[in-house]
Amino acid sequence: MTPKLVLASSSPFRHMLMHNAGLAFEAHAARIDERAVEAPLARDGATPDTVALVLAKAKAKEVSDRFPACLVIGSDQTMSLGSQTFHKPRDMADAANHLLMLSGKTHRLNSAIAIAYDGDIVWEHVSHAELTMRSLDPDFIQRHLKRVGEKALASVGAYQLEGEGLQLFSRIDGDYFTILGLPLLPLLEKLRELGAIDG
């Protein structure tokens, strides 16, 4: 019997990507304190890749412990500029600061994914995308944030490429799914390998 797929996320974007790919799945948010998981990693100087992967695995494992005999997909994304790791902005002033720091520079999105089965991680993967933001005038940033409103607080980096955030960029290297935080192509390949979807 084919194991049931469970997405360990409440993200509407990840739900949409899975649904659009024709996957039958249930979604259950992981009950973990992400900042508590991250704190020791930050103290130890973990790379943004490692942080994303540890969080993806923690989400997959926590949900897998509650849903045995299911393939549970956990994912997480970090954003890095050089050695600095960014999180979702706390408020609109923080969002403006993020955009000012990213202005005219290339940053990296690190999208990690993990699959757990019966509480064990059976697969993990990290994909990257490089995004170059055009030089932004501080007044333009304020006008932009006023237009997009609270949506700016929902994403790491204070932008959403699937919306008006696209206007902030001059170059994007990487696939759409990695940018949205769910590297679907390697995931689908692994699900076919595991016999979880028709291949």
Active-site residue set: 76
Cβ neighbours, 10 Å, residue 149: 9
List, as one string, the DSSP characters of 80-105: EETTEEE---SSHHHHHHHHHHHTTS
What type of residue is 94? D
DSSP 90: S
Give the position of tokens 């995931």.
187
Give the position of tokens 């979807």.
197
Helix (H) or strand (E) holding 74: strand 70-81
